[in-house]
Amino acid sequence: MNKYVPVIGLEIHVQLKTRSKVFCTCSTKFGAPPNTQTCPVCLGLPGVLPVLNRKAFRYAIKTALALNCQITNSVRFDRKNYYYPDLPKNYQISQYALPVGIRGYLEIENEGEIKRVRIRRVHLEEDAGKLVHSEDGRFSFVDYNRAGTPLLEIVTEPDINSPQEAYVFLQE
């Protein structure tokens, strides 16, 4: 018998199906030519202000409720600063300090047993762009169409004890 028990927590990113990005009105339609679905807001140009996509926020609240989370009285968006070539602003707008939902749970059934997996937080954030590499590997190109696409992040507590339990959780 193995004396070690896996301890697994998940950080799940869900791309929300909205027509526009989370902080601007640019389209989220997949497959457009590179860099044709951008604007000063999603590129982070000086002098522009983000406006929250209501539908994305409603999806976040509905998800938090479905996961038995407490809906917070107020939310806040923060700038997570880091450099990636496909992050045009050098920061990502995310709910860190005050997420939309906290302290929830999801009950799963695995091999006939019910287990409660605690949800630490549910919050909104924006996606980065994407890098496209040439076939020979000599060049990399940046496509910012995806930058600003709404993501819902679901973070569990480390309550999962096997890959099978993680799979069952994700299937729910």
**Entry pTM:** 0.91
Give the tens place of pLDDT for each residue, 60-109. Answer: 999 999 999 999 999 999 999 989 889 989 999 999 899 999 999 999 99
Residue 2: pLDDT band (50, 70, 90) is confident
Surface-to-core class of residue 21, CB atoms within 10 Å of its CB (0-12 exposed, 13-18 middle, 19+ buried): buried
Nearest of 34, 8, 29, 10 to residue 18 by alpha carbon: 29
**pLDDT reported for residue 3:** 87
Give the tens place of pLDDT for each residue, 110-120. Answer: 999 999 999 99
Residue 1: pLDDT band (50, 70, 90) is low
Domains of the chain, residue spans: 11-171
Residue for token digits 């807001």?
41
45-66 average pLDDT score = 97
Q: Report the C-alpha gap between 50 and 48 in whole angstroms.
A: 7
